[in-house]
Amino acid sequence: MAHKQISPQPVVEGGIGVSSNTAYTVLCGGTTSTGAIQSIASVGTADQALTSNGASALPSFADLGSGTLGTVAATTSGTTVTYSGFPSSTTLIVFGINNVSGSLSTGNFLLQLGDSGGIETTGYSGTMWDGSTANVWSSGATIISAATMDATKTYVARIEISLYDAATYTWIISVQSVSSSTAVSAFGVGKKALSDVLTQIQLSVTTGAFDAGSVNVLYYS
């Protein structure tokens, strides 16, 4: 008895439901549980990643996020440097301090976060530690150095500000810093819950003024 061959073989009978696929592309399920297998639109390019486009849509290849680099700002005068205009989708900010110094050997460098209502000056908690000295953050800001600022030194630091809870606008802040006259690094971690979506960050000096160095920011959204 002759049997009629169905081509392409339906999914319900163990087939894929199509007679051909795009070479080298990723295969995905059909639009229903028994629908024909689908190929995504393209094979992408080198170093791209397969990215979801949500339910009821085929994935596609996209460039990996490389972050957005800000503009270097000099800290040779004044008492504050502010970066603003972060998109609401921002989840990570890396703030770099390069050979920054202050004019007086008192006080410290502070980092504060802000939203559309301005820079927030309360609600920070954390500690800096360099192996011998602990410097607890005041509720008003993130402290960059474990010891009191020294006008004869310059400071290098990397500060990572990462979103912890979007519903409560809570950010985790990690600090690594070192001064020009010591081989000992200071480390710190803390947190800050904002009143709204983060839009800006500010570095300030508590006494005197900035007199050397520069800063920049890299953010991911």
108 with 177: CB under 8 angstroms? no
Phi, psi of 12 (to 5 degrees): -65, -20
Question: Bigger pLDDT: 120 or 145?
Answer: 120
pLDDT in tens, 24-58: 888 888 889 888 888 888 888 887 888 888 888 99
Q: Give the angle subtended at the CA of 86 by the CAs of 82 and 88, to the nearest 5°.
A: 145
Q: For residue 180, give the nearest of 212, 221, 135 by alpha carbon.
A: 212
Cβ contacts of 145-148, under 8 Å, gap ≥ 24: 145/108, 145/109, 145/177, 145/179, 145/186, 146/177, 146/186, 146/188, 147/186, 148/105, 148/106, 148/107, 148/108
Q: What domains, with CATH codes, occur in the chain? A: 1-64 (no CATH), 68-220 (2.60.120)
Rounded Cα distance between 94 and 65, Å, is 14
Average pLDDT over the chain reads: 89
| CB-count exposure of residue 88 (10 Å: 0-12, 13-18, 19+) | exposed
pLDDT of residue 216: 98
* Residue 124: pLDDT over 60: yes
* Residue 150: pLDDT over 70: yes
For 121-125, 165-169, 176-180, which range has the lowest pLDDT when averaged over its residues?
176-180
Residue 63, token pair as written in the block: 């460039």
The model's pTM:
0.74
Q: For residue 124, give the nearest of 114, 112, 115, 133 by alpha carbon.
A: 112
